[in-house]
Structure 1
Amino acid sequence: MKTHPSELFFYHCAAQPVDKKALAYASSIADYVNQIDICKEDITETQWESILLKLDMHAKDLLNRAHPDYQEFIAGKDFDDAGWLEILVKYPYLVKAPIVIYHDKAILCNTPSDVLKFD
């Protein structure tokens, strides 16, 4: 897939109000913001794996452990790497914060201003 050199990828759940603030920051540092609503668009296991490699994180670290669905379906269970990728595909709304990829680097934006770490 060909991308513009100054394109920023913003993976988020549009229903989250905090994500809107992070998107505003993202728009201030990049000319091209490609919004990917992970709650509406299907992200494959391969795409999640690529994102995790850029973040240098494990799938479990992306998830909101306080969410009731995490507590009901995931907490206390042991998963291998493939299992965690399946969880991201099945429950993308459990991702606790937006993910920004810019210039082939990625960050998990725990606060909206984390986007400015790219600037």
Structure 2
Amino acid sequence: MGTIAMDKKQITLYYSSENSLGKQVNAYVESSELEHLTIDIAKTNVTGTQWAELADGLNKNISELIDQDHADFKKVYGEDNVSLDHDGWLKVLDKNPSLLKYPIVIKGTTFLELKSASDFKQYMNPDSAGLDKPYNKE
């Protein structure tokens, strides 16, 4: 059983208020009439288990949730390919929430990364975003 509550009647947003995309997406979610829960990772501790569940829901590794092209990441870890273990990537997100590459939204069992603030508009029309389709892990 997962640690993240999944409700098909509610949208859950994981975002960082320390980057502009996160702030923009949060504004869209907050102004929507949809039932929602927003989790600002800059203010709320997300556990390693929750990060693993988010990455799994997106069919990604935790390292893929991190913006490795961000100037702050390169300043600390350098320009070359960075190889960290699972715990190392979790520490990056814990210490630098602004490095979350894209806000993550969950509705029911569907996990999506929002690559622009306007991507959230798809949630206003669930059929166009595929939100009524169950998550099917391959």
The answer to whether the superposition gives a TM-score over 0.5 is yes
**Structure 2 counterparts to residues 32-43 of structure 1, below 5 A:** 32-43=35-46
Aligned length in residues: 118
Which structure has the larger Rg? 2
Are the counterparts in 2 of residues 25 and 112 from structure 1 also a CA contact under 8 Å? no
What corresponds to 1:9 in structure 2?
A: 12
What corresponds to 2:93 in structure 1?
A: 88
What corresponds to 2:71 in structure 1?
A: 68
Are the counterparts in 1 of residues 104 and 113 from structure 2 also a CA contact under 8 Å? yes
Cα distance in 2 for partners of 1:26, 1:62 equals 23
Deviations 1:67-111 (A, max 9, x none): 232112234432122321222222221012211111111111111
What corresponds to 1:112 in structure 2?
A: 117
SS in 2 for 1:79: coil
Q: What is the alpha-carbon root mean square deviation over aligned residues?
A: 2.5
**What TM-score do you get using the length of structure 1 for normalisation?**
0.80
**What TM-score do you get using the length of structure 2 for normalisation?**
0.70
**Which of 39, 52, 67 is residue 49 of structure 1 equivalent to?**
52
Q: Give the residue type in structure 2 aligned to 1:39.
A: A
How far did residue 118 of structure 1 move? 4.5
Aligned-pair identity (%):
26
Gaps of 5+ in 1: none
Gaps of 5+ in 2: 123-128, 132-138
SS in 2 for 1:18: helix
Are the counterparts in 1 of residues 105 and 113 from structure 2 also a CA contact under 8 Å? yes
